[in-house]
Amino acid sequence: MKRKTEESQYIHSRLNNEMLNYRVYVPGKLEKASVRLALFLAGGFAGLLFYGGLFLSEGEPTTATYAANTIAFIAIGGLAARLFMPVYISRCLEKRRRKLKAQFKEMLASLSASISSGSNVQKAFEDALSDLRLQYEDHDFIIIEMQEILNGVAQNINFEVMVKDFGERSDNEDIVCFADVFEVCYRKGGDLRSVIQKTYHAINEKMAVTDEIETKLTSNKMQHNVMSIMPIVVVAMLKFTNDTFADNFATPVGVLVNTIAIGIFIASYRYGLKICDIRV
């Protein structure tokens, strides 16, 4: 069987520089270890809450009880780290996409203003980079991408090729469409000023609609987060305040019901994420 080839976080550009692949997010070693540890501990304590206290003898823990607690902590903790790490990575990717899109919008605004004043394409890109340096740091996405485009042009690589390369890595529909239209207009002498202005206004409108949707979904996302935590809180309160309820958890029926409930909880949480994920 052929193994699925994983995409790299960095792709070699036309200048053979390692440029960011915006479709992939790979956490750093410290970040990954910290997130996995947090998920493992949270899952482990949830495992103890639902599966702890098995094999008691007259209400007292036995060696089997400690062994079962350890197994539950490690098993549920490991499962939590495995299941929820992709959720963390997905949120980091979405955050990066939004940041790139906002920066790209500012780039189009600078390009439009420069071209409208009569500058040619290269001068417009140079002026846009100068304007963007006033807003962003050298490590920001758009500064790196603009500098790469201008470096490519300085080495006799066509503008449309460099912009196309950026679009292919961006994982953003608006940037890809802009790169395609830019390529056609630049080669055949189209109205770049009109293209850039229309793209800028389209992205502006889409971001406004997205912000409005996000505002209306804020309460729903908050409810989703609260409802995801409440079952654990309720079970913890009942288990620590009612001995009979806690004893029922240690029975075979209790273990079976807990397992089914955890499965429903995980499925509901992931389905809730999909419901709240509305894209324009």
**Alpha-carbon span 202 to 196, nearest angstrom:** 10
256-267: burial string, b at 16+ Cβ within 10 Å, e else: eebeeebeebee
Task: Tell me whether residue 269 is in a domain.
Answer: no
**pLDDT surpassing 60 at residue 144:** yes
Residue 179 lies in a domain: yes
Q: What pLDDT, on the 0 to 100 scale, is given for residue 146?
A: 94
Which residue range forms the structural domain that includes residue 196? 99-208
Q: pTM for the complete prediction?
A: 0.78
Residue 6, pLDDT > 70, answer no
Residue-wise pLDDT for 58-101, tens only, equals 767 788 888 888 998 999 899 989 988 998 998 899 899 889 98
State residue 3's pLDDT score: 42
Question: Residue type at 60?
Answer: E
Is 13 among the domain residues?
no
Q: What is the structure's pLDDT at 280?
A: 57
Domains: count for the chain: 1
Asked, for residue 150, whether it belongs to a domain, the answer is yes
Residue 256 resides in a domain? no
Q: What is the mean pLDDT of residues 206-220?
A: 76
Task: Name the percent of the chain lying above pLDDT 90.
Answer: 25
Arithmetic mean of pLDDT over the chain: 84
Say if 119 falls within a structural domain.
Answer: yes
Is there a domain that residue 231 lies in?
no
Is residue 19, in this structure, part of any structural domain at all? no
Non-local CB neighbours of 169 within 8 Å, separated by 6+ positions = 11, 19, 20, 21, 22, 23
pLDDT of the residue at 40: 95
Is 7 in contact with 23 (CB distance < 8 Å)? yes
Integer Cα distance of 86 and 79 in angstroms: 12
Q: Does position 48 have pLDDT exceeding 70, yes or no? A: yes
**112 neighbors 200 (Cβ within 8 angstroms):** yes
